[in-house]
């Protein structure tokens, strides 16, 4: 099958067979040397290339221009039937699960479909590429064409199943790219893992940065969009469906906003999702903090004389004068130990975070970060959240899960009420760091800035933070940004690692 767009229809810039082109003998000067005839066979389009192209044209048409696909649908159907695949692959209403249930032999073809092993001879198998095209198109269309309007619990479950199949096609476990869930299950009747809850494939995941860059966050974003379009309480009331949700920032935001309206099983499932997300982020941030919180060795403190601190190399070196050549024995008259005590200073960390609707990501991340620093020795952590009212969350600062359950997201922004709570906590300015996280779009901006400048001039370390997100995106009121710069305390805006770095230099 040859499509007219495959390069065989003459255009204004393409010579026809009757008109001599640059390579035609009639177009050469009479005294020009003879030119070798072009190898027309090497440039002729391969039949399988044309068939594969038709299938991918159909994929693009369905994604971007569904009104121009009638001819491509009929051509694709002919190709699919010709290669021995079921026409159900072209049915947009059929889930991958339903196709595999009717045709169990396809389960093995879906697994690792988009991460094929290279051929030993290095040649392309064009016929195999044609066969993979409708399978890959089915996965991509089912996952990335989610339509519009309300979403039912059944539709979300079907999408999650199709996303599991896509992850298996990329050589990963189901759920791995969306958040490392990696569901486990048994194989289906074909022995190849028909159920999408099965492991699907084995071995390490391929280098997905080469295949499909950053597809994991995109899948999570699509799932979050579906969750936003459905009745979340309906999902949470179903333990099986709730357990399949991938914890993400957008989902956590929804749960925190709706937590007061949940009860029973739905509330328990919501808390479980929040805790899962908190634990995942905590593990990442704790690793960053632990790498950066070691203070300098305090050599004024004598080392503990225990075996684990024994410096064997230094002990041998210092006692070499006691070596007896006749006896071939080293006599040790003094043992040397390593210093392990590190110099730390009791510090107070006051974290003030804007909990208005635009700062949800920062609220979650900074709550977790405060709990990690609260677990460090000799660091006194205080946590304040505010919108138009301020809430002292210090008693729960060590537990980010409990802290988040006490927040009330949304509302306006009035930082002066938070400053009224923060100022009494700055008892020893030289040993205090104040981290203020907000977009600084304030109601009483001059009054708040004057109070912040007073904190800075008192000797306390004042760190204004515009965003503490995983992506580093965030906006800051330009009025505040310029004044903080003039004050000598420029706004940190970016990845949360920047804040960790600033805190470690002061607290260690």
Can you tell me the mean pLDDT for 387-401?
A: 86
Pairing between strand 329-330 and 323-324?
antiparallel
Measured CA to CA, the distance from residue 104 to residue 106 in angstroms comes to 5
Q: How far apart are the first and last CA of the chain?
A: 70
Give me 256's structure tokens: 């925190």
> Is residue 472 predicted with pLDDT exceeding 60?
no
Residues of the chain with pLDDT > 70, as a percent, come to: 71
443/466 Cα distance (integer angstroms): 17
**Structure confidence at residue 486 as a pLDDT band (50, 70, 90):** very high
- Which one, of 442, 443, 424, lies nearest residue 434 by Cα? 424
Distance, CA of 130 to CA of 126 (rounded, Å): 6
Q: Considering only residues 253 and 95, tell me which one the structure prediction assigns the higher pLDDT.
A: 95
pLDDT 10s digits, 270-293: 888 888 888 877 777 677 666 544
This prediction's pTM: 0.49
**Residue 448: pLDDT over 90:** yes
Sign for the CA dihedral angle at 28, 30, 33, 34 comes to positive
Complete edge-to-edge strand list for the sheet that includes strand 347-354: 390-392, 379-386, 347-354, 432-437, 461-469, 492-495
Tokens standing for residue 133: 């095209």
- How many CA atoms are closer than 13 Å to the CA of 316, on its beta-carbon side? 3
Average pLDDT score over residue span 451-474? 80
Q: What is the mean pLDDT of residues 264-271?
A: 88
Residue 86, number of CB atoms within 10 A of its CB: 15
| Most distant CA pair in the chain, distance | 105
H/E stretch holding 495? strand 492-495
Cβ burial 441-451 (10 Å sphere, 16+ → b, else e): bbeebeebbeb
Q: Would the CA dihedral through 84, 86, 92, 94 be positive or negative?
A: negative
More confident residue, 409 or 120: 120
Task: Please give the pLDDT value at position 301.
Answer: 63
Distance between CA atoms of residues 227 and 245, nearest Å: 9
Length of the chain: 508
Q: Is 254 helix (H, G, I), strand (E, B) or coil?
A: helix
Task: Output the pLDDT for position 224.
Answer: 76
Angle at 288 between CA 350 and CA 272, to 5 degrees: 80
**CA–CA gap between residue 467 and residue 353 (Å, rounded):** 10
Q: Note the Cα 231 to chain centre separation in Å.
A: 25
Within 10 A of 227 (CB to CB), how many other CB atoms are there?
20
Round to whole Å and give the CA distance between 398 and 332.
48
Can you give the pLDDT at residue 33? 43
What percent of the chain is predicted at pLDDT more than 90? Answer: 7
Residue pair 446/479 in contact by the 8 Å Cβ criterion? no
Q: Which of 10-14, 48-52, 229-233, 384-388 has the lowest mean pLDDT?
A: 10-14
Segment 61-84 mean pLDDT: 76
CA of 216: how far to CAs of 25, 76, 175, 274, in Å? 56, 29, 9, 20
Whether residue 173 contacts residue 167, with contact meaning beta carbons closer than 8 Å, is answered with yes
Please give the C-alpha separations between residue 284 and each of 264, 281, 371, 409, in angstroms, as whole numbers: 31, 5, 13, 24
- What is the average pLDDT score of the chain? 73
Amino acid 417: pLDDT: 92
Q: Show the domains of the chain with their CATH numbers.
A: 47-115+124-175+214-228 (no CATH), 298-343 (no CATH), 347-507 (3.40.50.410)
């Amino acid at each position: 099958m040859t499509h007219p767009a495959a390069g065989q229809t003459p255009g204004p810039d393409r010579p026809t067979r009757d008109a001599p082109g640059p390579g035609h003998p009639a177009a050469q000067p009479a005294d020009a040397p003879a030119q070798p005839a072009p190898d027309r066979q090497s440039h002729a389009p391969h039949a399988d290339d044309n068939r594969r192209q038709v299938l991918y044209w159909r994929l693009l048409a369905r994604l971007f221009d569904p009104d121009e696909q009638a001819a491509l649908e009929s051509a694709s159907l002919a190709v699919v039937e010709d290669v021995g695949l079921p026409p159900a692959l072209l049915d947009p209403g059929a889930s991958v699960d339903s196709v595999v249930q009717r045709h169990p032999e396809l389960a093995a073809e879906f697994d690792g479909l988009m991460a094929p092993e290279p051929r030993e001879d290095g040649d392309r198998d064009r016929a195999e590429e044609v066969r993979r095209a409708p399978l890959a198109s089915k996965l991509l269309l089912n996952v990335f064409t989610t339509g519009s309007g309300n979403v039912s619990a059944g539709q979300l479950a079907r999408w999650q199943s199709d996303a599991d199949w896509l992850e298996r096609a990329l050589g990963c476990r189901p759920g791995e790219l969306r958040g490392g869930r990696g569901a486990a299950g048994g194989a289906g009747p074909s022995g190849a893992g028909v159920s999408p809850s099965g492991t699907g494939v084995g071995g390490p995941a391929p280098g997905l940065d080469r295949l499909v860059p950053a597809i994991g966050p995109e899948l999570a974003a699509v799932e979050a969009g579906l969750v936003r379009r459905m009745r979340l309480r309906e999902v949470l009331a179903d333990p099986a469906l709730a357990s399949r949700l991938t914890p993400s920032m957008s989902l956590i935001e929804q749960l925190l906003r709706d937590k007061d309206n949940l009860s029973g099983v739905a509330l328990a499932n919501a808390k479980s999702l929040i805790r899962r997300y908190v634990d995942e982020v905590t593990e990442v941030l704790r690793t960053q903090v632990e790498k950066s919180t070691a203070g300098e060795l305090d050599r004024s403190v004598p080392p503990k004389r225990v075996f684990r601190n024994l410096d064997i190399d230094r002990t041998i070196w210092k006692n070499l004068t006691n070596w007896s050549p006749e006896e071939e024995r080293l006599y040790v008259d003094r043992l040397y130990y390593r210093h392990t005590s590190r110099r730390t200073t009791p510090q107070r960390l006051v974290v003030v975070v804007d909990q208005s609707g635009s700062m949800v990501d920062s609220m979650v991340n900074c709550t977790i970060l405060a709990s990690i620093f609260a677990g460090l020795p000799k660091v006194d952590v205080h946590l304040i959240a505010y919108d138009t009212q301020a809430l002292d969350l210090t008693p729960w600062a060590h537990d980010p899960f409990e802290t988040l359950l006490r927040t009330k997201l949304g509302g306006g922004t009035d930082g002066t009420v938070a400053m009224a709570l923060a100022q009494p906590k700055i008892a020893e300015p030289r040993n205090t760091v104040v981290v203020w996280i907000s977009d600084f779009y304030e109601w009483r901006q001059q009054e708040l800035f004057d109070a912040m400048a007073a904190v800075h001039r008192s000797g306390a370390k004042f760190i204004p933070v515009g965003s503490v997100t995983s992506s580093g995106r965030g906006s800051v009121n330009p009025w505040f940004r310029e004044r903080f710069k003039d004050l000598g305390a420029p706004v940190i805006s970016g990845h949360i690692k920047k804040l960790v770095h600033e805190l470690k230099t002061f607290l260690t």
